[in-house]
Amino acid sequence: MKSISPWSVLMRAHQASMRFDSTVQEWGGAVLGFLLRCFVAWQFLKAGWIKLSDWGITLDLFREEYQVPLLNPELAAYVGTAGELLFPVLLILGLFSRPAALGLFAVNAMAVISYPALWGFECPAAINDHLYWGIILLVLAVFGVGKFSLDAVLSRRRA
């Protein structure tokens, strides 16, 4: 009968751990990427739909409340709302994912810059939400959205 050395037990355990890590990284990362992009996209889709639901109030907010630099209020309202509706759809589908994540990051950054009330102590939760969304969007832009995306499907078909 062959004796089992502590070293061989350690090596087998390590190999099993590495296989588990690889599986978690491959599939867990894909699932997590999908969930993160759906979560953050939903936040912006809701905001875009709210703006569309009463366009008059939206224009008033851009004229009176928001201080968007470089753009006149009407153009800022159209561009911001379009970004809040287009980029999330692309992000959920996983199509042009990195540009969509960067586009939403720009929309998010502009919202933070343009609405000074976010920086006040009156609504610290709102600024935290924007910071979390920004971090998620940067992670998606840098690391990609994973295999559950149209980008991944199109890349596999091209190869």
Predicted pLDDT at 118: 72
- DSSP letter for 70, please: S
Q: What is the pLDDT of residues 23-60, one digit of tens each?
A: 888 888 889 999 999 999 999 999 999 999 999 999 99
Is residue 142 pLDDT above 90, yes or no?
yes
Share of the chain above pLDDT 90, in %: 69
Q: What is the pLDDT of residues 53-110, one digit of tens each?
A: 999 999 999 999 888 888 999 999 999 999 999 999 999 999 999 999 999 999 999 9
Predicted pLDDT at 1: 58
- DSSP letter for 54, please: T
Ranked by mean pLDDT, the top range of 101-105, 116-120, 124-128 is 101-105
Judge whether 95 and 150 are in contact, CB under 8 Å.
yes
Judge whether 80 and 110 are in contact, CB under 8 Å.
yes
Closest CA to 83 of 137, 47, 39, 131: 47
**Could you tell me the pTM of the whole model?**
0.84
Is residue 124 pLDDT above 90, yes or no?
no
Residue spans per domain, the chain: 28-158
Q: How confident is the model at residue 140 (pLDDT cuts 50, 70, 90)?
A: very high
Distance CA 46, CA 64 (A): 22
